[in-house]
Amino acid sequence: MCCKALTAECMACQKQTTEESICKQNPTIKGCPKKKSEKDERICCLALTANCLACAEGITVKEYCRKNPTIAGCPEKKPDKDERGCCRALTAECLACTENTTVKKYCKKNPDTIGCPKPEEREPIFCC
């Protein structure tokens, strides 16, 4: 006589088959071996850092930091512009902005700056 519980053992008995056969058809039934997922096989550290938290979520550190940029271990994002909106590169455009002047005026004072026209590109200076 077979038990009536909804377990792999009882159902196998009722259907006169093996537990393996029951579990193959219904792997979530009580008594069936649980399949290990990749997440179960991963061993992650427990620190609250990007590396450990990304591991726990099963994603890359880059993906984790994209979603959580302020977590320890994520690269600190440096602003591309200052408080006035000027870029920080050492180019005529950025430096002119920083000095609150035009590129043309900046280049007149600092002609060798990257982004200033080269001598052959400059407007000719007519004398007298």
pTM over 0.85: no
Contact call for residues 38 and 30 (beta carbons, < 8 A): no
β-bridge partners, 7: 30
Q: Where are the domains of the chain?
A: 1-35, 38-67, 79-122
The dihedral formed by the CA atoms of 107, 109, 110 and 115, expressed in degrees to the nearest 10? -10
For 123, residues 6+ apart whose C-beta sits below 8 A from its C-beta are none
Q: Hunting for tokens 């009882």 — which residue is that?
A: 10
Q: What is the pLDDT of residues 70-120, one digit of tens each?
A: 889 998 766 566 667 888 889 999 999 989 999 999 999 999 999 998 876
Q: What is the pLDDT of residues 23-72, one digit of tens each?
A: 888 888 888 887 655 445 678 998 899 999 999 888 999 999 999 888 89
Contact call for residues 114 and 92 (beta carbons, < 8 A): yes
- Distance of CA 73 to CAs 52, 54, 57, 76, 111, Å? 9, 11, 15, 9, 42
Can you give the pLDDT at residue 40? Answer: 55
Q: Where are the alpha helices (DSSP H) in the chain?
A: 8-15, 19-25, 38-41, 50-57, 61-67, 92-98, 103-109
CB-count burial class (<10 Å; 0-12, 13-18, 19+) for 116? buried
